[in-house]
Chains A and B, each alone.
Chain A
Amino acid sequence: MHNKSSDIEIIDAVLGGNQLAYADLVKRHQRYIFTLALRFTRNRENAEEISQDVFVKAYRSLGSYQRSAKFSTWLYTIVYHTSMTYLRKKRLDTSSIDDEETMIQLESHSSGSDVYSAEKKSRTFYVNKAIEMLLPDDATIINLFYHGEQSLEEIAVVMGMEANTVKVKLHRARHRLKEKLERLLKGEVKELL
């Protein structure tokens, strides 16, 4: 077995003219990028389009990537900005992104206990459903922290905030997630988790 090349080694290969090496970077990061984009779009087709866009943008700007931060952090910054632009284009400006009202419809639709009974679905399903109900920023923070293995400082870089703000937002996001779970499961949270 041979060791996997690091992101930096692949980047050097791509910059050196080996375009095909970029496929390794795509394969390595596509699930994180797609999941993150999906949190914003809530639609697989659009998430896939955004993810493809992100990888093309990253390829074009690969030469300007400064290796002081992790490649994943740099990539997540592009996803975050591309997804925000997508939301703005869909006439969901920043203020309405923070507006919980926009999520109420989705929430009321998802909370039908007949459809998602505890017997039928696993806890992963419910936690995923609850994350889907969160505001994009909250879902992004949870995703970056738990899936993207990003530190508070790295998340701060991705989202253009202070690390302390990210910490407060992470607390709030988890608190809201718990509330959503409680609403979804109607008091069965402890049993399910």
Chain B
Amino acid sequence: MNPIEDRIWDYIDGFCSLEEQETISQLIVHDPVYRDKYEELIALQQSLTQLELDEPSMAFTNKVMDKIALQSQPLTAKSLIDKRIIYGISALFGFMLLACLIVLLKEINWSAAIALPENLTVNYNQIGSKFVLSSGIKTGLMYSFFMFDIVAGLMILDKYLRKRLV
């Protein structure tokens, strides 16, 4: 590949920065190598843009429409999705959230929370050791992590299924 050619193609296609564009236009004016190459490539560019498209047979549209007539009405994405699947996924998520909440509540050391100072001055370090970092919270974090994984997995599955539809 010729680096000069690549630079000039980028210039013709408008893919380079304004600064680069200015540099190349100066080179085209002053450097005969760049000028010759530019003239050569611009001629090819014009030939490519002037090319005509091929024409299928006269009956092409009719042939397609004959085949279309045998097809059933296309459905929108909404109607393509089975609502039972959506309800199933929703129920699964609801159940998982509920399970997480139950486990979390069960694991919390409620007596530690009750043992707060009477004047209600909150000692965060104390809370940190007795309450915040209790195993219940750790389990909760773990469940959140699993939940995130499941959501990511479902998103990937959704992307894959959409691609297959096309």
Contacts and interface: CB of A to CB of B under 8 A. Distances in A.
Interface residues of A, number: 53
B166 interface: yes
Interface in A163-193: 167, 170-172, 174-175, 177-178, 181, 189-190, 193
Contacts of B162: 64
Nearest to A160: B163
A105 to B, nearest CB: 22
Contacts of A87: none
Contacts of B53: 31-32, 34-35, 147
A127 B57 CA distance: 23
A124 B43 contact: no
B17 interface: no
A31 B61 contact: no
Given A19-B68, A31-B56, A48-B60, A124 B80 contact: no
B88 interface: no
Interface string A71-96: 00010011000000000000000000
Chain A binding surface SS class: helix
Contacts of A189: 40
A77 B163 CA distance: 11
Given A48-B60, A124-B52, A175-B2, A64 B80 contact: yes
Interface string A44-56: 1001100110011
Given A23-B61, A64-B162, A171-B1, A34 B56 contact: yes
B47 interface: yes
26 contacts: A14-B74, A19-B69, A19-B73, A22-B68, A23-B61, A23-B64, A26-B65, A31-B55, A47-B54, A48-B56, A48-B60, A51-B60, A59-B71, A62-B74, A63-B80, A64-B162, A66-B77, A74-B166, A77-B166, A127-B51, A131-B51, A171-B6, A171-B9, A175-B5, A189-B40, A193-B44
Given A22-B68, A55-B68, A64-B162, 13 more contacts: A20-B65, A27-B61, A31-B53, A32-B53, A55-B67, A63-B74, A63-B76, A64-B80, A131-B51, A167-B15, A171-B5, A171-B9, A178-B44
